[in-house]
Chains A and B, each alone.
Chain A
């Protein structure tokens, strides 16, 4: 399981281009191995079957061949045994009249050197005549031989093999008859020794590796036709059957015994399995070669296929990658297969995206144009406000002053008060217009962030503000203002507005106290301006920062209601926050926080990503 997982992990790290050939190779290896093995085993089975048939055929042929030879020998011996001299010699009880002829006949029976002994026996199984050409006296009691090989009159039998000092002999016994009755035996011994021609003929017949065993049916003696050898382990009742056995030299062998007709012999053909399978074994390199060739073809095919698959995929990836760079790539993948369809879908998608993108860009341009037009209109509007509203206002103010200057003495107190009110209001309206313009212009201004020494700035602002407040004793404390990252001009406006408010609203107190302080942490610097002045009702706290919103009447404290709105707008531009706490009659505190890093810097350093 763990191994499997590891393999999968390993595979998933490879690209499709690498994975596909690997997979196909694996499949091919598996298929070829199975196919090769199956083929090998069926070939082996067939070879074994053929081998067994061949063994049967061979053993049959050898048996037949030997039987024919045996038949010939029997016929010759029988013919000799039927000679008048032989039968007469036995019948006349060794009459010398027949002796010479009989000997001559018996010598004739020595056809070659394998006929080692020819003897004539009487019914008592005593040798009565021995050929002159007899060279070997086989030390086997003839009575024993005749016992195991019963012979009828006028018939001839071949006996089993006897071992005499490592040489094998077999007897050919013909029954000599007189008037249909057995009168003796003609026994000749033949040496079992195959001629080189015969051996060559046999080995050609059998093929290499085959063993021929000839032996007695009772398995007492086995020979390879030349000398006695340990034979195959044939048990009784296994004649004509195919047996398998293990030999320490040849390994596994298949063998079949064939009864040789007219003899008590078994001819056995044994084939070592390795010889039978020789042809099959020689196929193994071919199967392997075939497998390797298939594998190579497979790998090449797999590479081609995987390239055919991965190349379009790479094209797609490349196209998708370059798309955000604004390049529209059309994928050209021929064919109507899955990849072709994917390419078509991809092309449709990209063209849609581009159309949409194009539309979007057009829309953005349109909207930008509209915005720019609106902005220009707004500019024109504020220009008009600043120029066209101020001009008549100046006229009102100016004429009122002129009236006062030129005709003041002719007016009573009420008349002068009214003229004063006209002047005051016109002046106030001028200031309103100025503040409003400053407020609207702030939106267009860009921030220029620098490190601002707030402590020093606060001192400067206070000195400036207190120039006009000589008669009042303000207790002003400035403690620990950290430097701010801010637009110097704008933050000056903030301090100016907040501190001037504090002075204004605490001006009616007997002992006005103003505290200005600050602190900092990792991300923010924070500041506060506190006074013990008029304060405000927290229920209206949300109205503090609105344009033209005031919590005090003009008679109580003069003002346009733009100052705090301007402050809030500046703090917002700095991505900071501002809030106020207060209590009516007890004073107010304004807190504001400024980020230490500008928002774009924070985005770049990743602080805001999460």
Chain B
């Protein structure tokens, strides 16, 4: 995929959750320009054009980042912190998608400047509905910085 056209960056270590998310987005035709990365370190490399993504154009920003919290190596909170601390990435909308209703996570995320916090429902219907609404909102309804 040409990374210049990335609209959604999905950072999710669990392949099943990732699959369900992608399926839900696909159903609404929102997954055409989606990249899925499975850990926080890789996501940071991608966003800051480092390491294996060194030749990527940092100016090409995704329209939204769907970020899981619980990941090995670098977790979602840390990714969020670094994104929001950097001027180049600060304005990219970030949606935390997690199974955790932990109050502390919610508070920390909003403190760091998260744009949305979504608790993934267990039942697929609810989950699919939440994901597609989210995709519609951030890709179509919301006007971001190009």
Chain A contacts to B: CB under 8 angstroms: 383, 386-388, 390-395, 397-402, 423, 426-427, 429-431, 433, 437
Contact = CB atoms under 8 A, between A and B. Distances in A.
B110 to A, nearest CB: 18
Task: Give the secondary structure class of B's interface.
Answer: loop
B102 A398 contact: no
A430 B100 contact: no
Interface of B: 14, 16-17, 19-20, 23, 69-70, 98-102, 120-125, 127
B75 to A, nearest CB: 11
Given A391-B17, A402-B23, A397 B98 contact: no
A394 B99 contact: yes
Contacts of B102: 383, 386-387
Nearest to A429: B122
A9 B16 CA distance: 90
20 contacts: A386-B99, A386-B100, A387-B70, A387-B98, A387-B99, A391-B17, A392-B16, A393-B122, A394-B16, A394-B127, A395-B16, A395-B20, A397-B122, A397-B123, A397-B124, A398-B127, A400-B124, A402-B23, A423-B124, A427-B123
B120 A394 contact: yes
Given A390-B122, A427-B123, A430-B122, A395 B100 contact: no
A427 B122 contact: yes
Contacts, number: 67
B32 to A, nearest CB: 20
Given A399-B16, A401-B125, A402-B124, 5 more contacts: A386-B101, A398-B16, A402-B23, A423-B123, A426-B122
A437 B124 contact: no
A401 B122 CA distance: 12
Nearest to A404: B124
Given A394-B17, A394-B20, A430 B101 contact: no
A397 B17 CA distance: 11
A394 B127 CA distance: 9
A262 to B, nearest CB: 141
B17 A430 contact: no
A430 B70 contact: no
Contact of A390 (B16, B120, B125): B120
B101 A394 contact: no
Contacts of A391: 14, 16-17, 99
A155 to B, nearest CB: 152
Contacts of B20: 394-395, 398, 402
B123 to A, nearest CB: 4
A388 B122 CA distance: 12
Contacts of B120: 390, 394
Contacts of B100: 383, 386-387
Contacts of B14: 391, 395
B101 A398 contact: no
Contacts of B70: 387-388
Contacts of B19: 398
| Most A-side CB within 10 Å, residue of B19, B20, B99, B125 | B99
Contacts of A398: 16, 19-20, 23, 124, 127
Contacts of A401: 124-125
